[in-house]
Chain A
Amino acid sequence: MATEFHNLQELRRSASLANKVFIQRDYSEGTACRFQTKFPSELESRIERTLFEDTVKTLNTFYAEAEKIGGQSYLEGCLACATAYLIFLCMETRYEKVLKKIAKYIQEQNEKIYAPRGLLITDPIERGMRVIEVSIYEDRGSSGSSSGSSSVSGSTAR
């Protein structure tokens, strides 16, 4: 029936998304990319504090590595300037390499730790490096009226 089809589609598509938590940037050390390690209260029942904080801290170290100003970045910058920045047509910048590492790390974390707990971490680069978006999914007890469940989840989102 049409209703069942709708429900299946929605289950597959939205997977009963209940809430989203946003981990904001931490600017206390300047404009470098860092995220707050404060554990959000909405995740208290879903995941252990240490696991989550570990993930955020690892992400922070990755970003620090990408933005580190040291010998390698100077070399890259000078070489790029000398070749009138044409070298970036064939070479990847260090930042991009680290971003790929981060994407892999997040995917791995999602598979191993977060998905089994009904959570999903979105790569910050997809949100303009503003936030780490953690989507919280609920186990749907019944596939009844989706409008009912969504209004319930909408009010819990408050």
Chain B
Amino acid sequence: MHLGESTRECEYSQISTRSSTPMETPYKKKTPKKRKWETFPGRNRFYCDGRIMMAKQTGVFYLTLVLILVTCGLFFTFDCWFLAEQLTPIIPVIGAVLFLFVIGTLLRTSFSDPGVLPRATPDEAADLERQIDVANGSTGYRPPPRTKEVVINGQTVKLKYCFTCKIFRPPRASHCSLCDNCVERFDHHCPWVGNCVGKRNYRFFYMFILSLSFLTVFIFAFVITHIILNSQRIGFLSALKDSPASVLEVVVCFFSVWSIVGLSGFHTYLISSNQTTNEDIKGSWSSKRSKDNYNPYSYGNIFTNCCAALCGPLPPSLIDRRGFIQSDAPQLAPPTNGLPMYGSTQSQQSHKVATTPLLQQQQSSEPVILSPENGASLPGRASLALGGPCTSLPLGQPTPPASTPSLSCHEATDLLPIHGHPHNHSHPLQEQLAHHHFLTPEEVPSPPGMLHCGSPLGHSHTMQGSFYNPASQDSLHEDSVRGLVKLSSV
């Protein structure tokens, strides 16, 4: 049959060319295979052919590096000779050891994978959507946003669904809006190290700030000693003139000591109680929330908590940056009519459409809900709790409400040229909008007034047909940005 053949041909070529995951290339590569980091969906930067992984903004990391290198360089050049002669040569040795340890742990923190969770494959995502819809039932009423409850050691923990990564986040995982990844045991995004701090690099981060505290105190103490000893011989002012670098070192160390030592102390407390910065700031396990609220992850005593965090086994990276992309993995529901990814079944189409109005609705109701929830409580606690370098982004949460509408508009236009995958067009945008509002899902009461979106199921077939049509992508994007969905925009 001619029709069957042509469909089969479409299918056959689609199997090899369509991306089954966002990580695969959209078009067939006849040239050498690509490594997976080259098509990584998050907003990370990779160096050394995927061996090094950092966040997108690395400016502050270079500042950190320069500060440490310059201060230590000045110390070794100007102060160490005097101290080695006058006191003992062990001082520069200890200084060197500390310095190397600091640099080593800093680089390890910055360059390693913090524990990024890879995004769900289309089959997994479809399976999850199916399960969720079965659980909710299709009553035409907007289903409540997706959470799952699980009881861990007697405490009820809510697992949230990540619209970007299409997974239910494991407990303690969080989505970093800067890096656009879900990270396991998410602590915070640290601009000073240019990376997220999560399960895999938390110990390196802690070792870094601890050793840096020792280093700053060490340099501070010995530079002061140098100046004092020198001024006993030749007077205070001439001592200062003799080594002007010392003045700079003292100034840098003085300001660093307060923040770094404070931060080390804070993280020591977190480690001993087995909490993340995220949880501490939100007060997830604080007894103020309810009388029988306790931390289900704590091992009970401080020693075990510390050992577990610092000396526990180091899990491997889940994202396989340097692996090669396999383009011919068997897929579950091959597309028809060139429609990619979510197959041709009616139920799956209706799932897709059902989620879209949900996303739009969230965006339109967002400004009302976000501000009281995190705006008021966040800044106060952040400055109180941290007071150090890592205050700027303690949470991997969406940017404050005020900036979101412009941000999403900006990203709407940004995403169009960047994501050249024709079939991926609508997804990143909607996911961007969606995950910026992931705080709202619990609060949004799904007003019955949004009934105009209540009948997408009826339009599912045509909707799916137009959904991936590149010609209507622009109008769809505009509409979704404005918070409307024209379901009949075929």
A binds B: yes
Flag if B15 contacts A13 (CB, 8 Å).
Answer: yes
* Given known A84-B105, A85-B204, contact A94–B331 (CB-CB < 8 A): no
Give Cα A11 to B347, complex, Å. Answer: 27
User: B282 near A: Cβ within 8 Å?
Assistant: no
A95 touches B117 (CB 8 A): no
B124:A9 contact, CB within 8 angstroms:
no
Which residues in window 125-166 of B have CB below 8 A to A?
127-128, 130, 150-153, 157, 159
CB distance from B393 to the nearest CB of A (A): 23
User: Of A15, A20, A27, A96, which contacts B170 at CB under 8 A?
Assistant: A27
B268: interface (CB < 8 Å): no
Taking a contact as CB atoms under 8 Å apart, the answer to whether A76 and B313 are in contact is yes
> By the criterion CB–CB under 8 Å, are B8 and A6 in contact?
yes
Interface string of B345-388 (1 = CB under 8 A from A): 10110000000000000000000000000000000000000000
A148 to B153, CA, bound (A): 49
In the complex, which of the residues B117, B124, B203, B320 contacts A133, with contact meaning CB atoms closer than 8 Å?
A: B124
CB interface residues, B 100-128, toward A, < 8 Å:
100-101, 104-105, 108, 117-118, 120-121, 123-124, 127-128
- Flag whether B334 is at the interface (Cβ < 8 A): yes
A158 to B332, CA, bound (A): 12
Contact B151 A28 (CB under 8 A): yes
| Number of A-B pairs, beta carbon distance below 8 Å | 155
Q: Would you call A10 an interface residue if the criterion is a C-beta within 8 Å of the partner chain's C-beta atoms? A: yes
Inter-chain contacts of A25 with B (CB < 8 A):
170
B315 within 8 A of A: yes
Which residues from chain B contact A85 at a C-beta distance below 8 Å? 104-105, 108, 204
A87 to B101, CA, bound (A): 14
Q: Quick check: B345 and A157 within 8 Å, CB to CB?
A: yes
| Chain A residue nearest in CB terms to B304 | A69
Q: Does B316 contact A (CB under 8 A)?
A: yes
Contacts of B128 in A (CB 8 A): 22
What chain A residues lie within 8 Å of B308 (beta carbons)?
A: 69
A141 contacts chain B at the CB level, 8 A cutoff:
no
Is the beta-carbon distance between B311 and A78 smaller than 8 angstroms?
yes
A151 CA / B344 CA spacing, docked (Å)? 8
- Fill in one digit per residue for A142-157: 1 if any B CB lies within 8 Å of its CB, else 0: 0001111011011101
Distance of A65 Cα from B118 Cα, bound (Å) = 23
Q: Given the known A-B contacts A69-B312, A93-B314, are A157 and B8 also in contact in the complex, defined by CB atoms under 8 Å? A: no
- Contact between chains at A151 and B297 (CB < 8 Å): no
A47 interface residue, CB < 8 Å from B?
no
Contact of B332 with A147 in the complex, beta carbons under 8 Å = no
Please report which residues of chain A, range 24-58, place their CB below 8 angstroms from some CB of chain B when the two chains form the complex: 24-25, 27-31
Q: Of A3, A29, A66, which contacts B8 at CB under 8 A?
A: A3
For residue B48, CB closer than 8 A to chain A, the reply is no
Interface residue ranges of B1-45 to A (CB < 8 Å):
1, 4-5, 7-9, 11-12, 15
* Contact A22 B312, CB 8 Å, known A84-B104, A147-B11: no
Inter-chain contacts of B217 with A (CB < 8 A): none
Chain B interface, >50% SS class: mixed
Instruction: Name which residue of chain A comes closest to B134, CB basis.
Output: A158
Question: Closest CB of chain A to B158's CB: distance in Å?
Answer: 11
Given contacts A22-B127, A151-B336, contact A27 B150 (CB under 8 A): yes
- Interface of chain A, main secondary structure: helix
Chain A CB within 8 A of B252 CB: no
Distance between Cα atoms of A28 and B297 in the complex (Å):
11
Taking a contact as CB atoms under 8 Å apart, the answer to whether A67 and B319 are in contact is no
Q: Any chain A CB within 8 A of the CB of B436?
A: no
**CB of B343 closer than 8 Å to a CB of A:** yes
Set of chain B residues within 8 Å of A76, measured between Cβ atoms: 311, 313
Q: Which residues of A contact B120 (CB under 8 A)?
A: 130
A21 to B345 CA separation, bound complex (whole angstroms):
17
Contacts of A84 in B (CB 8 A): 100-101, 104-105
Q: Assess whether A147 is in contact with B336, with CB atoms less than 8 Å apart.
A: yes
A17 within 8 A of B: yes
**A117-158 near B? 1/0 per residue, CB < 8 Å:** 000000001111111010100000000011110110111011
- Chain B residues whose CB sits within 8 angstroms of the CB of A125 once the complex forms: 316, 318
Contact between chains at A81 and B207 (CB < 8 Å): yes
CA distance A153 to B333 in the complex (A): 8
Question: Is A104 part of the contact surface with B, judged by Cβ < 8 Å?
Answer: no
Chain B residue at smallest Cβ distance from A146: B8
Q: How distant is B204 from chain A, measured CB to nearest CB, in Å? A: 7
B118–A128 touching, CB < 8 Å: yes
Complex A-B: 27 CB contacts under 8 Å: A6-B8, A9-B12, A13-B328, A13-B330, A22-B128, A31-B185, A68-B313, A69-B307, A69-B312, A73-B311, A73-B312, A74-B311, A81-B207, A81-B311, A84-B101, A84-B104, A84-B105, A85-B105, A95-B316, A130-B117, A130-B120, A133-B124, A145-B1, A145-B4, A150-B11, A154-B343, A158-B130
With A67-B315, A69-B308, A158-B345 given, name 12 new contacts (CB 8 A): A3-B5, A13-B330, A27-B157, A30-B153, A31-B170, A81-B203, A95-B313, A130-B124, A145-B1, A154-B333, A154-B345, A155-B345
Residues in B lying within 8 Å of A, measured CB to CB: 1, 4-5, 7-9, 11-12, 15, 100-101, 104-105, 108, 117-118, 120-121, 123-124, 127-128, 130, 150-153, 157, 159, 167-168, 170-172, 184-185, 203-204, 207, 296-297, 304, 307-308, 310-316, 318-320, 328, 330-334, 336, 343-345, 347-348
> Which A positions have Cβ atoms within 8 angstroms of B?
2-3, 6, 9-10, 13-15, 17, 19-20, 22, 24-25, 27-31, 66-69, 73-74, 76-78, 80-81, 84-86, 88, 93-96, 99, 125-131, 133, 135, 145-148, 150-151, 153-155, 157-158
What 4 A-B pairs come out closest when comparing CB atoms?
Answer: A77-B311, A128-B118, A145-B4, A14-B330
